[in-house]
Amino acid sequence: MTKRAMGRTILGLLLAGFLFMSLAGQAAAKDFYEGKTIRIIVCCSPGGFYDRWARLFARYMGKYIPGKPEIIVQNMPGAGGLIATNYVYKVAKQDGTAIVSPLGGQYLDQVSGRKEVLFDFGKFQWLGTQEISHSVLFCRKDSKFQSVDDLVKIKDNPAKLGNTGTSGSSYFIGKVLEKAAGANFNFVMGYPGGSEIDLAVERGEVACRGMTIPPHFGREPYLTWHKTNFITQLVQTGSERDSRMKDVPTLTEVMDKYKTSDDVRAIAKVIFASGDFGRPLGVGPGVPADRVKMLRTAYLKALADPELMAEAEKGRMTPVIPSSGEKVQELAKFVSNQPKEVVDGVRGILGR
């Protein structure tokens, strides 16, 4: 046998082996998932975009997973998303039947050394994310706080800012503005989810809230609030002004105005990397690689499903800007392994 013929034979055997292993893996996964129930564990209470995206995927992902398992959503709010994230990492079975939907900024609890953290964000196995979620800070129109300048000038009885915990957009924006511009806030903590903060704003318990931009233009009560001029947007965190908020300054513009130091700017960049995570889905570190691959594939196929996209558009949950599980994995590893000076800076700004 010639070397060329031998090479072809070896290549053929390798391809055949790969095909056999792939088919065997699919068969094994089908055998595993058939008759099973997958839970998507959501960090927040029902009604917000984390919950709504989880329920969309629950309706569509199952048909793209061999064995077609049932998928249900379980809301597990509390401790600013830590209860759900810790649960999937440490308590849930590491078999691919528990998917976590954490806050996009949950990694900052780890970076800043919060003692309640039981996870390594970079070791979750990420399925992907469907959006980029920069943030906006707004206050009631009838409050004293109609600009960042007002937040800086009013030191007595400062703006009450509603928060779920220390890993949400509201907390990040408030703390960064304190450091970058000298703003003043009274942080009101412990709301189970965004819907509860919305009620607090309506009742006047808090004057301000920070949140990601997609739901700000995608659901009630914001659709009505925009029409009735109930709120004023003060600052947004994207590098460019959102087309729907052309008169609202970016955080970079605010930092330029207040001559924020380069050190604080660098730390703010790490903090607001949370916007690139959007609303990701992931599984625990012990889930077998073949099931992770299958779930990643099912996630992307569900996201390309015309019926899912039609629901997303109807629910004003667009634009969809997807990132694969592999790309989210790289980002998670990066933000989880910051040098000491950045970690110290994050702790200093976030007060942890």
So what's the pLDDT on residue 352? Answer: 60
Mean per-residue pLDDT of the chain: 90
* Residue 204 near residue 127 (C-beta atoms within 8 A): no
| The 3-state secondary structure of the chain, one letter per residue | CCHHHHHHHHHHHHHHHHHHHHHHHHHHHHHHHCCCEEEEEECCCCCCHHHHHHHHHHHHHHHHCCCCCEEEEEECCCHHHHHHHHHHHHHCCCCCCEEEECCCCCHHHHHCCCCCCCCCHHHCEEEEECCCCCEEEEEECCCCCCCHHHHHHCCCCCEEEECCCCCCHHHHHHHHHHHHHCCCEEEECCCCCHHHHHHHHHHCCCCEEEEEHHHHCCCCCHHHHHHHCCEEEEEECCCCCCCCCCCCCEHHHHHHHCCCCHHHHHHHHHHCCHHHHCCCEEECCCCCHHHHHHHHHHHHHHHCCHHHHHHHHHCCCCCCCCEEHHHHHHHHHHHHCCCHHHHHHHHHHHCC
Q: Where are the domains of the chain?
A: 30-132+277-350, 135-271
How many CB atoms within 10 Å of residue 229?
8
So what's the pLDDT on residue 201? Answer: 98
Spatial distance between the Cα atoms of 193 and 46, rounded to a whole number of angstroms: 8
So what's the pLDDT on residue 26? Answer: 55
Question: What's CA 349's distance to the chain center, in Å?
Answer: 20
| Residue 152: closest CA among 189, 185, 176, 201 | 185
How many CB atoms within 10 Å of residue 1?
8
30-132+277-350 shares its CATH topology with 135-271: yes
Inform me whether the pLDDT recorded for 306 exceeds 60. yes
Spatial distance between the Cα atoms of 211 and 275, rounded to a whole number of angstroms: 11
So what's the pLDDT on residue 165? Answer: 86
Q: At what angle do helices 289-303 and 3-33 cross, to 10 degrees?
A: 80
Q: Which residues of 134-165 are buried (b: 16+ CB within 10 A; e: fewer)?
A: bbbbbbbeebebeebebbbeeeeebbbbbbbb
pLDDT in tens, 331-352: 999 888 888 888 898 888 876 6
So what's the pLDDT on residue 27? Answer: 61
Inform me whether the pLDDT recorded for 15 exceeds 50. no
pLDDT in tens, 260-281: 999 899 889 889 988 889 999 9
* Residue 323 near residue 128 (C-beta atoms within 8 A): yes
Mean local confidence (pLDDT), 137-162: 98
pLDDT in tens, 154-173: 999 999 999 998 878 899 99
Mean local confidence (pLDDT), 217-222: 94
pLDDT confidence tier of residue 9, bands split at 50, 70 and 90: low
Residue tagged 């969809």 (tokens): 320
So what's the pLDDT on residue 341? Answer: 87
Backbone angles phi, psi at 307, to 5 degrees: -70, -40
Spatial distance between the Cα atoms of 192 and 171, rounded to a whole number of angstroms: 14
Domain 30-132+277-350 grouped into CATH 1.20.120.1200: no
pLDDT in tens, 16-58: 444 444 455 556 666 899 999 999 999 999 988 999 999 999 9
So what's the pLDDT on residue 347? Answer: 87
**Which superfamily, per CATH, for 135-271?**
Periplasmic binding protein-like II (3.40.190.10)
Mean local confidence (pLDDT), 91-102: 98
Mean local confidence (pLDDT), 221-242: 96
Spatial distance between the Cα atoms of 63 and 5, rounded to a whole number of angstroms: 43
So what's the pLDDT on residue 6? Answer: 43
